[in-house]
Structure 1
Amino acid sequence: MKKLVLGFLVVIVWSACKSNSGNKMTLPIFGSRRAVSKVVDGKTEVDTIYQTIPKFGFINQYGDSITNKSLDGDIYVADFFFTTCPSICPIMARNMLKVYDTYKSDGNFKILSHTIDPKHDSVPVLKKYADKLGVNGNTWWFVQGKKEETYDIAEKNYLVAVKKDSTAAGGYVHAGYFVLVDKQKRIRGAYDGTDPKQVDQLIEDIKALRAEPDEVIVQ
């Protein structure tokens, strides 16, 4: 299941894709991009527009509406799971707890875990799941919504493969990636959520991302 990734085939060399500026690390920006020309003070300049996470709407474990606006000004990590998953999800949850414990006091950081089984994973089920993990407050949201919308945003925007598969353990197949998103809602990294070393790197990369200015240009 770890290998089911649509757009992150280059993640296997993600550590080599970062660039240094002096002693500071700059994370790459993933996804599509396009050049846009604009006139500034009579001169034509070319700006790069990067792929961003689009508008969305889900419900979290408290029954609150969570939209893209709820994450304005935040760095966040997104992943996909389901509460009855018998394989990689428990490992992912334990590893995500390390990220949560490191940044839960940071008011501008969030974790967004999307269930891919919204029929079973109701709001009360998600709340029970969060409570079992010891998660409280508003740093880590477990969200559910329409199945089609969840799958669509997973594959088209977060570039993570998910699907229902009756032959798989638990009935679903999904990639176990933690996707790092910056304040401008651009993807800045993807990490195998079952690999402690990559999760440790994610924690370090969040620190690097927090040190960046709100607007950063990556060549």
Structure 2
Amino acid sequence: MRHQYTLICAILLTATVFASSCKNERKLPIYGLRDTKTVKNSDGTAGVDTIYQTIPAFKFLNQDSVYITNDHFKDKIYIADFFFTSCTSICPIMHRNLKMISEKFKNNPDVMFLSHTIDFKYDTPSVLKKYAQKLGVDGPKWQFVYGPKDSVYTLAEKSYLVAVNVDSTNRDGYVHQGFLVLIDKDRRIRGAYDGTNPEQVAQLEKDIPVLLAEDKK
């Protein structure tokens, strides 16, 4: 569960810096690992650029049995989460809340949604399709995707910093965190919100326009 603490700690560490900037123009923090590189400026002097962690390229089957890659979200911001269709605990709450968010931004082409199933045994595209229909989701704006266990679990824990796992002691067979992860147009993590917490879901709704405004500057 090391990555669980990585994301939570990143949020807590950034909160202090973010709070100090709230008096000025609001801007969302950037989460995840980061590195620096030396660059040459136009005047010949040396400078330093920050390299932020980004979501890597991926390729998964969606609810329509069509392969979806990161290019599908090019020049978009999106909210990602990890779930499974037979979940009886947090998933229904997460997706009811996310559905409300999706309704509020349904006419904005720059906002998309991406839900990864962690049930690699049962949640085939046809099952995801039925799940999406039951949720009342139709069209390309919200993608539900299925892929091999190693690919999905590695992406969750290494890139989105969300803990997922198979757990035979759990009645549903899987455990995972309920984060709704906000990704910007450069594939960087800009926020993580507990999808079962109304206050955090409301904050996500407020943060989406902030991120959209940032891209227009």
Change (3 A) 1:43 1:14: closer
CA distance, structure 2, for counterparts of residue 122 and residue 194 of structure 1: 25
State the alpha-carbon separation in 2 of the partners of residues 126 and 116 from structure 1.
12
Cα 1:207/1:109, change in 2 over 3 Å: same
Gaps of 5+ in 2: none
Alpha-carbon distance between aligned partners in 1 of 2:127 and 2:14, rounded to the nearest angstrom: 35
Q: Does 1:94 align with 2:96?
A: yes
175-184 vs 11-20, greater mean Cα deviation: 11-20
1:34 matches 2:35: yes
Runs of at least 4 residues off by over 6 Å: none
- Residue from 175, 179, 185 that aligns with 1:173: 175
1:175-218 CA-to-partner distances (Å, cap 9, x unmatched) read 01001100000001100010011001001111100000368xxx
Q: Structure 2: which amino acid aligns with 1:103?
A: F
Match in the other structure for 1:134: 136
| Relative contact order higher in (CA < 8 Å, ≥ 6 apart) | 1
Give, in whole Å, the separation in 1 of the partners of 2:200 and 2:16. Answer: 14
Query: Offset at 1:44?
Result: 1.0
Q: Which is worse superposed, 102-111 or 21-30? A: 21-30
Structure 1 unaligned segments of length 5 or more: list them: none
1:18-167 matched pairs, under 5 angstroms: 18=18, 20=21, 23-41=24-42, 42-167=44-169
1:140 CA displacement: 0.8
Amino acid at match of 2:32: G
Q: Which moved more, 1:124-133 or 1:61-70?
A: 61-70
Identity among equivalent pairs (%): 50
Task: From the superposition, tell whether residues 60 and 17 of structure 1 become closer, same or farther in structure 2 (CA, over 3 Å).
Answer: farther
What is the RMSD computed on CA atoms of the aligned residues? 2.0
Measure the CA separation in 2 of the matches of 1:29 and 1:173.
Answer: 26
Query: Which protein has the bigger helix share?
Result: 2
CA contact (8 A) 1:60 1:144 kept: yes
Shift of 1:137: 1.1
Confirm or deny that 1:203 pairs with 2:216: no
Deviation of 1:22 (Å): 6.2
Match 2:187 to one of 170, 185, 205? 185
Structure 1 residues 116 and 70, CA, compared in 2 at 3 Å: closer, same or farther?
same
- Equivalenced residues, count: 214
3-state SS of paired residue (2:131): helix
Q: Match for 1:7: what amino acid? A: T
In the TM superposition, residue 118 of structure 1 has moved relative to its aligned partner by 2.4
